[in-house]
Amino acid sequence: MTARLLIHCPDQPGIVAAVSGFLTQQGCNIIHADQHATAKSGGEFFMRIEFERGRASGEILRGAFQAIGDQFSMDWSMSFDEVKRMAILVSKYDHCLLDLLWRQRRGELEVEIPLIISNHPDLQKDAEFFGVPFYHLPVTKGNKQEQEQRIHDLMVEHRVDFAVLARYMQILSPELVGKWPNKIINIHHSFLPAFIGARPYHSAFQRGVKIIGATAHYVTNDLDEGPIIEQDVVRVSHRQTIEELVRLGGDIERQVLARAVRWHVEERILVYENKTVVFY
C-alpha cells in the first residue's frame, strides 16, 4: 500500500506546483494524482495523490507539509499504510453482508472487520464462518437510546474507523450520526432521489418504472439525503413482480455498496456541499 495525500481548498494558482514540488523535495515519488476544480477560477479545489514515501517518516512529512497546508488554507490529510477498520451493521438480509465478507476474505477490500452488529440473531452463523465477532443488540420499544449507545461504545472499543449499514433496517438518531460524520455508509435500495424512505421496490412497482437502482451514500440526519457516493441501475419490465424487483435490486445493492466501501477504504472520496468527489 502507498501513502495518500487528500486536499480540499479554495482554488488558486500554484497549488499543484507547491504540492508536487514539496513531495519531490522530500524524495517522495508520485504514483498517481487526481484533481478537480469546480470552476475555471475562484471555485473549490480537490486533489488526491498516491505517492511512495522516501526516507522521511510520516510524522516528518506531516509536519513539513503543514506550512503548505496553511499557505493555501487547505483542509488536508496524509495517510501511510494504515488499514482501516470497518464495522458492519445488518438486520436480516444477508446479501450485502456476505458480499462484503467475501470481498474482504479474497483481498478485494483492504480492510479489517473487527465486528458485526445486528438487531436480529439471524446472521450469526455467517459471521462465525468468516470468524468475525457478532453482537446481537435487539431493538425494543424504549431501549433504542441504550442500544445506539452500545453500538457507539462497541465501535470505539474496537477502534473502528467507519461503519457500513448493510441493509440495517433501523434509522440512526442524530446523536449517533453526529458522532460519525461521513463515517457511516448506507445502501438505499432505490435510485435516489426517487423513492426515498421505506419499501422503494413497492413504490417503483406502483409507478411502473422501467429501470430500478440502488444508491450508496453517507448517512446524515436527513433520511436518504446524504452525499451520494455511487449508484447503479438494472432494467425491468411489466413482467417483474415486486418479489423479482427485490431479487434483481439485491444484486445491484451489493455491487454498489461494495464499490462505495472500496472507494472509502482507498480514500478516494471527498465530500463538500452534500456531494461527493470520487477519484477512481
What are φ and ψ of residue 51, in 5° steps? -145, 160
C-beta of 18 vs 139, nearer to a copy of itself: 18
- Active-site residues, by number, are 224
Restricting to residues 125-164, name those near a copy of itself by CB under 8 A.
Answer: 129
Q: How far is the CB of 265 from a copy of itself (least distance, A)?
A: 14
Pairwise CA distance, residues 117 & 154, whole Å? 9
Candidates 192, 219, 245, 261; binder of a copy of itself (CB under 8 A) is 192
Sheet containing strand 3-10, edge to edge, reads: 29-37, 44-52, 3-10, 75-80
63 vs 9, 17, 59, 121, CA distance in Å? 18, 19, 6, 47
Taking the complex as a whole, the smallest distance from the CB of residue 160 to a copy of itself amounts, in Å, to: 25
Binding mask 198-217 for a copy of itself (x = CB under 8 A): ---------xxxxx-x----
Residues 85 and 111: their CA atoms lie apart, in Å, by 6
Q: Tell me how far apart the alpha carbons of residues 100 and 253 are, in angstroms, rounded to a whole number.
A: 11
CB of 60 to a copy of itself, least distance (A): 18
Residue 255 interacts with a copy of itself (CB under 8 A)? yes
Q: Do 194 and 224 contact (CB within 8 A), yes or no?
A: no
Residues 63-82 that bind a copy of itself (CB under 8 A): none
- Binding to a copy of itself (CB under 8 A) within 17-36 occurs at 17, 20-21, 23-24, 27, 29-36
Q: Which residue has the cell 513531495?
A: 23
Query: Residues near 158 by Cβ (< 8 Å), separated by ≥ 6?
Result: 85, 87, 114, 115
Q: Find the part of the chain contacting a copy of itself (CB under 8 A) among 37-45, 69-77, 79-87, 172-180.
A: 37-45
**Binding footprint of a copy of itself on the chain (CB under 8 A):** 2, 13-14, 16-17, 20-21, 23-24, 27, 29-37, 40-41, 52, 94-95, 98, 102, 106, 108, 129, 191-195, 207-211, 213, 227-233, 237-239, 247, 251, 255, 273-278
